[in-house]
Amino acid sequence: MTEDLPEEYAVDEPQGESAGGNGAVPTESLEPTEPTEPEALDSVARNKILALRSEVQKVLIGQDEVLDQVLLCLLAEGHVLLEGVPGLGKTLLVTALARALHGSYARVQFTPDLMPSDVTGHTVYDTSSGGFHLKRGPAFTNFLLADEINRAPARTQAALLEVMQERQITIDGDTHRLEAPFMTFATQNPIEQEGTYPLPEAQLDRFLVKVTMDYPTLEQELKVVKHVTDGRTGGGFSLEEIVPVADPAQIIEAQKEVANLRVAEPVARYAVELARATRETPGLTIGAGPRGAIALVRTARAHAFMEGRSYVIPDDLHSVALPALRHRVMPAPELALEGRGADQILKEVLDRVPAPRS
């Protein structure tokens, strides 16, 4: 749902080629020169999220952009797909975040022999009572880590669909609602293909964002090595220094504030135009559907919240476009051979579609 901004935020529709298409995002007319007090966010909920970010950074070194994108997903009540080669800290990120959030957390190692009931749970017969009772699976939690999700067969992957979309689990005809907040973190290795089952498009679309983790810089990697080895005999990070700084109720409050951030009609139209442009881009065999535009707006609101604004501007959409759309488009095989992936093509779309301006 969109809401027009007050007069000082008003923007005009782009008019033909004069609106420009060089990828720049002029925002002067989308924000006031001197924000009034109600427009500048300084809420307790936002301060909690900033404290949460600082706490996780104690152990997650060199992945600040990844952490920010995961926090945006949390604020937008979405699920995140983390992709990266082994050893970059995907599992560390999730476990540190869960520890700092003081919520319930469960990890499932996806393997080829994993059954759906191993994720959701099942009913067992109790001989003492003569009846059946529910044995809850790891999905009954606040934060679920589906480690190496593409190693499980399609049937087990599909068990997460209802959990992620409806935030409920149906076992033997009985539906069980999950406690809020609920978020799925799924990880996958982009290199290994043997023994993996690629996620179908229908399930990829359930993830609000796809976050890619890359190697740290030399200085960052040196800091990681020193942090792990100085005075320690083990080979991993210690999470003892992380203390809980937020609870589930405070996360829910932050999510409500994000949901109430204002999105002017021209900005919402811009999100739709970006998603639609992917369907008309040569080299993309599959473009983003309506859920792509919805993801853009949801994550852009979270980005504006983190920036301390109560309204969304086109720059917010630009900042979240890659993680929100990269898993919803499919480049043609010939482009992959040329080294042009989804991110590069999406950047070309951002350069081509004019942003709203006065």
Q: Quick one: pLDDT band at residue 235, thresholds 50, 70, 90?
A: low
Q: What are the Cα distances from residue 296, in Å, to 16, 66, 205, 222, 246? A: 23, 17, 13, 35, 26
242/308 same-domain check: no
Structural domain contains residue 1 = yes
144/31 same-domain check: no
Structural domain contains residue 104 = yes
Q: Quick one: pLDDT band at residue 35, thresholds 50, 70, 90?
A: very low
Q: Once rounded to an integer, what is the mean pLDDT over residues 231-235?
A: 65
Q: Which domain holds residue 201?
A: 44-246
Q: What is the C-alpha separation between 322 and 205, in angstroms, rounded?
A: 14
33/65 same-domain check: no
119/210 same-domain check: yes
pLDDT of residue 234: 62
DSSP string, 31-64: S-SS--GGGB---HHHHHHHHHHHHHTTT--S-H
Structural domain contains residue 309 = yes
User: Between these two residues, 2 and 279, which has the higher pLDDT value?
Assistant: 279
Q: What is the C-alpha separation between 203 and 70, in angstroms, rounded?
A: 18
* pTM attached to this predicted model: 0.83
Report the alpha-carbon angle 144-146-152, nearest 5.
145
Q: What is the C-alpha separation between 289 and 306, in angstroms, rounded?
A: 26
pLDDT of residue 252: 94
pLDDT of residue 354: 94
Q: Last residue of a domain, which of 184, 218, 246?
A: 246
Q: What are the Cα distances from residue 214, in Å, to 67, 98, 122, 271, 321? A: 12, 22, 38, 27, 18
Q: Quick one: pLDDT band at residue 7, thresholds 50, 70, 90?
A: very low
The CATH number of the domain where 20 resides is what? 1.10.8.80
203/271 same-domain check: no
Structural domain contains residue 235 = yes
Q: What is the C-alpha separation between 14 and 358, in angstroms, rounded?
A: 8
- Residue 27 pLDDT exceeds 50: no
209/144 same-domain check: yes
The CATH number of the domain where 210 resides is what? 3.40.50.300
Highest mean pLDDT among 35-44, 78-87, 197-206, 313-322: 313-322
- Residue 115 pLDDT exceeds 50: yes
pLDDT of residue 301: 98
150/242 same-domain check: yes
- Residue 38 pLDDT exceeds 50: no
Structural domain contains residue 251 = no
178/304 same-domain check: no
Start-to-end C-alpha separation, the chain: 23
90/157 same-domain check: yes
9/130 same-domain check: no
Structural domain contains residue 268 = yes
- Residue 30 pLDDT exceeds 70: no
pLDDT, averaged across the chain: 84
pLDDT of residue 170: 87
pLDDT of residue 194: 62
Q: Quick one: pLDDT band at residue 40, thresholds 50, 70, 90?
A: low
Q: What are the Cα distances from residue 66, in Å, to 13, 300, 352? A: 33, 16, 26
Q: Last residue of a domain, which of 178, 212, 246?
A: 246
Q: Last residue of a domain, which of 223, 246, 269?
A: 246
Structural domain contains residue 253 = no
As for how many domains the chain has, the answer is 2
Structural domain contains residue 34 = yes
- Residue 358 pLDDT exceeds 70: no
30/80 same-domain check: no
220/270 same-domain check: no
